[in-house]
């Protein structure tokens, strides 16, 4: 079945360092979405990528979608303590109901 | 906009009882709602997809007779955990799709922490 693998599971960085999390799907995706869940909170939508090779930026966050539409990455430049949380990728496979398969998430901690 | 609420936020019940969790889209109509289960330090596991006015679609391995889902209106879906047991203790999160947004994103509720004694 469809699976979305996400690495690393945990990442501890010093404030100001960069951070990257990677997602890989076993099959071609129609789209990929990224969510952030703060400690004690619920997932909040960050962005959706649809096109092969697409790159989108949100301030210090850069999202990429692979050419084969099977992998994606989220890169944060110069992390801040406000970036703390778990980042999930979620793969869409084109179902009419918009089901998503979530990766296990990468928990980011930032040391001030 | 696009706010989803859940009620209750936490519940403690005795083994064998049933618990109902409500998920509401407050400012949009959600033809599709999703129910997830999240174990500590783990990802979101999709349990079922709920469409207004029709039967829910359950993921493989999820007992539909144990987790009853009803999506009676465009703003409300309910999940009932029947004859709850301690292994059902978990964090249950719902999400809803707003078909009028430019993206196909899901808006998540704050979750319900269920503890079965």
A17-48 residue pLDDT tens: 999 999 999 999 999 999 999 988 889 999 99
Q: Which of A31, A44, A104 sits opposite B42 (nearest CB)?
A: A104
Name the phi and psi angles at A41, rounded to 5. -110, -170
With beta carbons less than 8 A apart as the criterion, state whether A6 and A22 touch. Answer: yes
- Residue A15 distance to chain B (closest CA, Å): 23
Tokens, residue B68: 């009853």
A78: pLDDT strictly greater than 70: yes
Top residue of B100, B104, B111 to mutate, by most chain A CBs within 10 Å, is: B104
**Burial bucket for residue B102 (CB in 10 Å: 0-12, 13-18, 19+):** exposed
**Going by DSSP bridges, is the β-strand pair B112-116/B10-13 parallel, antiparallel, or unpaired?**
parallel
pLDDT of residue A93: 86
Average pLDDT over residues B19-42: 90
What's the rounded Cα separation, in Å, for the pair B8 and B24? Answer: 11
Residues of A in contact with B32 (CB under 8 A): 97-98
In chain A, the largest separation of any two C-alpha atoms, in whole Å, equals 44
- For chain B, give the percent of residues with pLDDT over 70: 97
pLDDT score of B100 more than 90: no
Range from A16-25, A92-101, A102-111 carrying the lowest mean pLDDT: A92-101
Q: Which of B45, B60, B110 sits opposite A42 (nearest CB)?
A: B110
Instruction: Work out the average pLDDT over B68-82.
Output: 93
| Contact state of B46 with A99 under an 8 Å Cβ cutoff | yes
Is the predicted pLDDT of residue B74 greater than 70, yes or no?
Answer: yes
Residue B16 has pLDDT above 80, yes or no: yes
Q: Does residue A97 carry a pLDDT above 80?
A: no
Chain A window 9-28: which residues touch B at a Cβ cutoff of 8 Å? none
pLDDT at A96 over 70: no
Q: Name B17's Cβ contacts closer than 8 Å, sequence gap at least 6.
A: B83, B84
- Pairs of residues, one from chain A and one from chain B, whose beta carbons lie less than 8 Å apart: 54
Q: Do A100 and B106 touch (CB under 8 A)?
A: yes
Q: Measured between alpha carbons, how far is A85 from B11 in angstroms, rounded to an integer?
A: 25
Whether pLDDT at A98 is above 80: no
- Residue ranges with strand state E in chain B: 4-7, 10-13, 19-25, 32-38, 44-51, 57-58, 67-73, 76-81, 90-97, 106-108, 112-116
Residues 6 or more apart whose Cβ sits within 8 Å of residue B61: none
Which residues, including other chains, have CB under 8 Å from residue B55's CB and lie 6 or more apart?
A: none
Whether the CB-CB separation of A58 and A67 falls below 8 Å is answered with no
What pLDDT, on the 0 to 100 scale, is given for residue B1?
63
Cβ-defined contact of B110 to A41 (cutoff 8 Å): yes
User: pLDDT grade, residue B62 (50/70/90)?
Assistant: very high
Q: What angle do CA B24, B38, A25 make, to 5 degrees?
A: 105
Q: Is A31 on the interface with B (CB under 8 A)?
A: yes
Lowest mean pLDDT among A53-57, B38-42, B48-52: B38-42
pLDDT > 90? residue B36: yes
- Of residues B41, B57, B108, nearest to A43 (C-beta): B108
Residue A65: pLDDT band (50, 70, 90) is very high
Angle, CA of A57, B41 and A59, to the nearest 5°: 15
- Name residues whose C-beta falls within 8 Å of residue A96's C-beta, 6 or more positions apart in sequence: none
Please give the pLDDT value at position B98.
Answer: 79
């Amino acid at each position: 079945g469809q699976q979305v693998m996400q690495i690393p599971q945990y990442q501890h960085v010093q404030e100001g360092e960069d951070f990257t999390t990677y997602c890989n799907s076993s099959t071609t995706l129609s789209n990929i979405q990224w969510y952030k869940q703060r400690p004690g909170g619920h997932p909040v939508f960050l962005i959706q990528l649809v096109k092969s090779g697409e790159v989108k930026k949100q301030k210090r966050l850069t999202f990429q979608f692979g050419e084969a539409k099977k992998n994606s990455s989220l890169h944060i430049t110069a992390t801040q303590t406000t970036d703390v949380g778990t980042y999930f990728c979620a793969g869409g496979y084109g179902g009419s109901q918009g089901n998503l398969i979530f990766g296990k998430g990468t928990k980011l901690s930032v040391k001030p | 906009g696009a706010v989803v609420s859940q009620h209750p936020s936490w519940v403690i019940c005795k083994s064998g009882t049933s618990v109902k969790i409500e998920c509401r889209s407050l400012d949009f109509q959600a033809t599709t709602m999703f129910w997830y289960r999240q174990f500590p330090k783990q990802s979101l596991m999709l349990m079922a997809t709920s469409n207004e006015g029709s039967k829910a679609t359950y993921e493989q391995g999820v007992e539909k007779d144990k987790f009853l889902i009803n999506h009676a209106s465009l703003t409300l879906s309910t999940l009932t955990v029947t004859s709850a047991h301690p292994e059902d203790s978990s964090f249950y999160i719902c999400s809803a799709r707003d078909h009028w947004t430019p993206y196909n994103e899901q808006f998540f509720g704050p979750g319900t922490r269920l503890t079965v004694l």
